[in-house]
Amino acid sequence: MALAQIYPSMLAADFGRIADAARAVDGHADWLHVDVMDYHFVPNLAFSPDTVDALRKVTGTPLDCHLMIDDPDRWAPGFAERGAANVTIHAEAVDDIARTTDAIRAAGARTGLAVKPATPVEHYLDDLHRFDLLLLMTIEPGFGGQSFMDEVLPKIVAARRLIDERGLDLWLQIDGGVNRETIERSAEAGVDVFVAGTAVFGLDDPAAAVESLRALAVAAAPRLTGGAARTQPASPRI
Q: Provide the annotated active-site residues.
A: 35, 175
The answer to whether 21 and 52 are in contact (CB under 8 A) is no
Q: Which of 89, 103, 174, 178 binds ligand 5SP (CB under 6 A)?
A: 178
Interface with Fe ion, residue 38, by CB under 5 A: no
198 is in an annotated binding site: yes
Residues 53-56: contacts with CB under 8 Å, at least 24 apart: 53/82, 53/83, 54/18, 54/19, 55/10, 55/18, 55/19, 55/22, 56/82, 56/83
Binding flags for ligand 5SP, 115-154, as an x/- string (CB under 6 A): ------------------------x-xxxxxx--------
CA pair distance 231, 212, nearest whole angstrom? 18
Give 58 or 203: the residue with its C-beta nearer to ligand 5SP: 203
The answer to whether 52 and 83 are in contact (CB under 8 A) is yes
**Number of residues in contact with ligand 5SP under rule CB under 6 A:** 23
15 is in an annotated binding site: no
Interface with ligand 5SP, residue 195, by CB under 6 A: yes
Give 103 or 139: the residue with its C-beta nearer to ligand 5SP: 139
User: C-alpha dihedral over 109, 225, 152, 167, to 10 degrees?
Assistant: 60
**CB 128 to Fe ion: min, Å:** 20
Binding flags for Fe ion, 54-93, as an x/- string (CB under 5 A): ------------x---------------------------
CA pair distance 22, 29, nearest whole angstrom? 9
CA pseudo-torsion sign 21, 192, 132, 71: negative
* From ligand 5SP, Fe ion, none, interface partner of 145 (C-beta below 5 to 8 A by class): ligand 5SP
The answer to whether 141 and 68 are in contact (CB under 8 A) is yes
Classify 110 as helix, strand or coil.
strand
Q: Which residues bind ligand 5SP (CB under 6 A)?
A: 9, 11-12, 33, 35, 66, 68, 139, 141-146, 175-178, 195-199
Which chain residues interact with Fe ion by CB under 5 A? 35, 66, 175
